[in-house]
Amino acid sequence: MDSVLSHVDEHGAARMVDVAAKLVTHRRAVATTFVRMLPTTLAMIVEGRAPKGDVFAVARVAGIMASKRTSDLIPLCHPLSLTHATVDLQAESDGIRVTATVETDGKTGVEMEALTAASVAALTLYDMCKAVDRGMTVEGLGLLVKEGGKSGLWTREEEQR
Whole-angstrom distance, CA of residue 152 vs CA of residue 146: 8
Round to whole Å and give the CA distance between 87 and 101: 7
Residue 98, pLDDT above cutoff 90: yes
pTM beyond 0.75, yes or no: yes
Residue 135 phi/psi, 5-degree rounding, is -90, 5
- Render pLDDT for 19-68 as a digit per residue (tens, 0 to 9): 888 889 999 999 999 999 999 999 999 999 999 999 999 999 999 999 99
Fold of domain 25-159: Alpha-Beta Plaits (3.30.70)
Q: What positions carry a catalytic annotation? A: 127
- Give the residue extent of every domain in the chain: 25-159
Please choose, from the candidates 69, 47, 37, the residue with its C-alpha nearest in 3D space to the C-alpha of residue 133.
37
Residue 3 pLDDT grade (very low, low, confident, very high; cuts 50, 70, 90)? low
* Rounded mean pLDDT, 87-97: 98
